[in-house]
Amino acid sequence: MELRRIEAEKKRRSYSPNFHWAPIGQISPYLKYAVVEAEDSSFYQHHGFDWDAIRDAIAVNWEKGEFKRGGSTITQQLAKNLYLSPSKNPTRKIREALITMAIERRLKKDRILELYLNIIEWGNGVYGAEAAARHYFNKSAQYLTPSEASWLASIIPSPRFYDRHRNSDYIKKRQATIAKRVEKRYNLPPAPKTPDDDHEDTEKPDQDYEDEIEDEIIEEEVVEDSNKSRL
């Protein structure tokens, strides 16, 4: 979010991000598990790093002769989004690893997922599950259907592009694959019906996401840990 603001300032454009915080209990389980299946299927088993995915990514990149695929977990992506620049230099990767370990030590998995779902970019100026649900489907995130949830999960790698190309055949195939994985792995209840007055704004007021998380993860502590361990 901050990076997009800086980019807009450089281009002398106005920037008004669409962001609404939603507690994990107010986000459809279909979306939670669709995102896990799409981005990090071993999320609940690993401790911040998916070594199998990393090995697969190295093999693919070696075969292609260039960086085509990453192996980042949800926790690693959270570390990058909260604390780091997009740079790919070695020092940044070391800090990313250290911050990832600090996050995993301090937070439970559902809290990590809650933060991730609330801060990731989901379209042009759209951040977090609640804003994404309203932007694309005109409903709150807790009322997303399996199809809607899997579609949102499918666009995470390139959200601004697919905000403009919503009927992509690739995304339709990816959406179907994610939906099948969720159906196979999780025994979820039917999605709740959207209330007739769901268009009314009944959500809690917006709040800065760093204020929202400071009771459980304090940036200074995490960064201090990483600095002490820097090579």
- Indicate which CATH number applies to the domain containing 97: 1.10.3810.10
In a domain, 213, yes or no: no
In this model, does residue 11 exceed pLDDT 80? Answer: no
Percentage of the residues of the chain whose pLDDT score is greater than 90:
54
User: 95: part of which helix (H) or strand (E)?
Assistant: helix 90-106
In this model, does residue 206 exceed pLDDT 70? Answer: no
Distance CA 89, CA 86 (A): 9
Nearest to 214 by CA among 85, 111, 74: 111
Computed over every residue of the chain, the mean pLDDT equals 80
Count of domains for the chain? 1
End-to-end, the C-alpha distance of the chain in Å comes to 29
- 124-169 pLDDT, tens digit per residue, is 999 999 999 999 999 999 999 999 999 999 999 999 999 999 999 9
69, β-bridge pairs: none
Distance CA 4, CA 10 (A): 10
In this model, does residue 119 exceed pLDDT 60? Answer: yes
Q: Tell me, what's the pLDDT at 90?
A: 79
Q: Please indicate whether residue 146 or residue 7 has the higher confidence score (pLDDT).
A: 146
In a domain, 46, yes or no: yes
In a domain, 199, yes or no: no
In a domain, 76, yes or no: yes
Q: Please indicate whether residue 179 or residue 69 has the higher confidence score (pLDDT).
A: 179
Burial status of residue 55 (CB atoms within 10 A of its CB: 0-12, 13-18, 19 or more): exposed
- 14-26 pLDDT, tens digit per residue, is 666 788 999 999 9
Nearest to 80 by CA among 53, 120, 50, 47: 120
Three-state secondary-structure class, residue 19: strand
pLDDT band at 230 (very low <50, low <70, confident <90, very high): very low
- Number of residues that this document lists for the chain: 231
Distance CA 174, CA 158 (A): 13
Q: Please report, for residues 35, 43, 166, 201, the alpha-carbon distance to residue 124 in angstroms, rounded to integers and kept in the order given.
A: 19, 27, 13, 21
User: 121: part of which helix (H) or strand (E)?
Assistant: strand 121-123
Distance CA 187, CA 71 (A): 27
In a domain, 124, yes or no: yes
pLDDT band at 93 (very low <50, low <70, confident <90, very high): confident
Task: Give backbone dihedrals phi and psi of 196, rounded to 5 degrees, phi first.
Answer: -60, -30
In a domain, 212, yes or no: no
In a domain, 79, yes or no: yes
Once rounded to an integer, what is the mean pLDDT over residues 68-87?
A: 81
In a domain, 72, yes or no: yes
Domain with 85, as residue range(s), is: 19-193
Nearest to 182 by CA among 192, 191, 169: 191
